[in-house]
């Protein structure tokens, strides 16, 4: 059909079209380059660079403030009106409060699923008129290019407005598995930026999330290109499930100034129900995840001891680990009152006899090797789970 139905098919129409397209060519000529493929010339549109104000105006309406009982951060409104954020921000909850800059508030948005490896979570869908943001592959962005972080760092208001900070692309990094690319930028990052958008100088959302290295001097943000298929898999129902009976929150307050807020056990793609005896499989590692929080006056470095006891109470296995945050900082360097997630692979001996065992946790001071005890209980050991270890499982 005719692209311009208000103009009839006559000589006037033809001359008008010549003038219209000629004007467009004159305006956008600096933004178009050509590539020759044998005898064919292909015009390639290069998006124009935007100012900081233009980028904020374009992107910020779709940047959400995400809040749970224990943490708050950022999220990006995605196609289908889903909200994409970091897993560590909402875990282990099955819903979160979501607020947008226009004041739209959603009290209990369902966590549809998450991806452990990518630290990714998807919430929703929600009913909102705000236009979602497409996720764009930005891995060809040249080193040194300007980029922006938009999110809610260090927020405490109930209805906050997003913040924008500017930096440059310092380099690209790869995850240990090689499956996720990370943008490293010197754009300033703080607690609450998790789940926010990394935006190119053309206004494209090229990354989601927020961790940091080098004492927070550099932000690491996962590439949209690697997250996009994972997000769509979660929306389609293929992500890690969020089920009430497969998670457990703990509230263990230690007298040493550190609190255990929650924990989880995972094997393969499964999150294990810790409120009942769990059946372990010998062919896959067991991962122990814990969420911690330190007080403002905490200056001690802690380690943990994960211990397996048999039904007679005898300790048959022990694995000690130093507690560090994603930036490899010991507990004395953690930001006060901000939740920190740790994950450890429990290396259960292959020759462990069949039977039912208890997994227990002890937290101790690295310098003095003295265990800290649970307030009001005054015992150092905390029972995490009962585990069944059988032949052929």
**Closest alpha carbon to 31 in 156, 190, 202:** 202
Tell how strand 197-200 and strand 146-151 pair up.
antiparallel
Provide the pLDDT for residue 115: 84
Q: Which two tokens stand for residue 121?
A: 């979570």
Provide the pLDDT for residue 16: 43
Provide the pLDDT for residue 20: 43
SS3 label, residue 39: coil
β-bridge partners, 46 = none
The string of pLDDT tens digits covering residues 101-142 is: 999 999 999 999 888 788 899 999 999 999 999 999 999 999
Contact 71, 124 (CB under 8 A): no
Say how far apart CA 135 and CA 139 lie, in whole Å. 12
The residues, ordered by sequence, that sit 6+ positions from 374 with a Cβ below 8 Å of its Cβ are: 252, 253, 254, 255, 380, 382
Q: Which two tokens stand for residue 75?
A: 């999220």
Provide the pLDDT for residue 25: 47
- Position of tokens 């929306």? 235
β-bridge partners, 390 = none
End-to-end CA gap in the chain? 64
Based on DSSP, count helices (H) and strands (E) in the chain, helices before strands.
4, 24
- The low-confidence residues of the chain, meaning pLDDT below 70, are 1-46, 214-216, 238-251, 269-270, 273-275, 376-377, 391-393
DSSP 129: -
Provide the pLDDT for residue 127: 96
- φ/ψ of 124, rounded to 5, equals 110, -160
Whether pTM > 0.85 for this model: the answer is: no
The string of pLDDT tens digits covering residues 362-390 is: 999 998 888 888 776 677 888 888 898 87
SS3 label, residue 16: helix
CA 256 vs. chain centroid, Å, equals: 29
- φ/ψ of 29, rounded to 5, equals -55, -40
DSSP secondary structure string for all residues of 342-386:
EEEEE---TTPPSEEEEEEEEEEETTT-PBP-BTTT--S-EEEEE
Provide the pLDDT for residue 221: 93
- Helix H, strand E, coil C: the string for 220-239 is EEEEHHHHHHHHHHHHCCCC
The string of pLDDT tens digits covering residues 60-103 is: 999 999 999 888 999 999 999 999 999 888 987 889 999 999 99
């Amino acid at each position: 059909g005719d692209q311009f139905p208000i103009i009839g098919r006559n000589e006037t129409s033809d001359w008008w079209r010549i003038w219209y397209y000629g004007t467009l060519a004159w305006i956008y000529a600096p933004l178009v380059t050509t590539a020759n493929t044998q005898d064919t010339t292909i015009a390639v549109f290069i998006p124009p660079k935007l100012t900081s104000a233009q980028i904020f105006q374009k992107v910020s309406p779709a940047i959400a403030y995400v809040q749970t009982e224990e943490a708050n951060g950022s999220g990006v409104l995605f196609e289908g009106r889903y909200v994409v954020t970091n897993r560590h921000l909402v875990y282990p909850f099955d819903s979160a409060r979501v607020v947008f800059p226009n004041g739209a508030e959603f009290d209990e948005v369902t966590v549809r699923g998450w991806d452990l490896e990518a630290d990714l979570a998807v919430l929703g869908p929600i009913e909102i008129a705000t236009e979602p943001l497409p996720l764009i592959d930005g891995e060809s962005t040249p080193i040194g290019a300007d980029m922006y972080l938009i999110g809610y760092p260090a927020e405490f208001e109930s209805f906050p407005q997003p913040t924008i900070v500017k930096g440059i692309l310092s380099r690209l990094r790869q995850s240990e598995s090689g499956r996720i690319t990370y943008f490293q930028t010197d754009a300033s990052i703080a607690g609450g930026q998790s789940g926010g958008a990394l935006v190119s100088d053309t206004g494209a959302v090229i990354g989601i999330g927020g961790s940091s290295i080098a004492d927070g001097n550099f932000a690491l943000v996962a590439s949209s290109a690697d997250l996009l298929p994972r997000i769509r898999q979660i929306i389609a129902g293929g992500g890690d499930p969020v089920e009430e009976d497969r998670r457990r929150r703990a509230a263990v307050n230690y007298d040493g100034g550190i609190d255990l807020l929650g924990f989880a056990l995972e094997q393969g793609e499964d999150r294990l129900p810790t409120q009942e005896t769990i059946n372990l499989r010998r062919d896959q590692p067991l991962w122990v995840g814990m969420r911690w929080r330190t007080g403002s006056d905490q200056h001690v470095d802690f380690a943990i001891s994960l211990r397996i006891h048999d039904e007679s109470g005898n300790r048959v296995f022990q694995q000690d680990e130093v507690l560090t945050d994603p930036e490899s900082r010991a507990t004395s360097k953690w930001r006060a009152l901000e939740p920190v997630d740790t994950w450890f692979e429990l290396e259960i001996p292959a020759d462990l006899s069949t039977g039912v065992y208890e997994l227990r946790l002890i937290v101790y001071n690295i310098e003095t090797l003295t265990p800290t005890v649970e307030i009001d209980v005054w015992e150092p050991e905390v029972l995490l789970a009962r585990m069944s270890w059988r032949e052929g499982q």
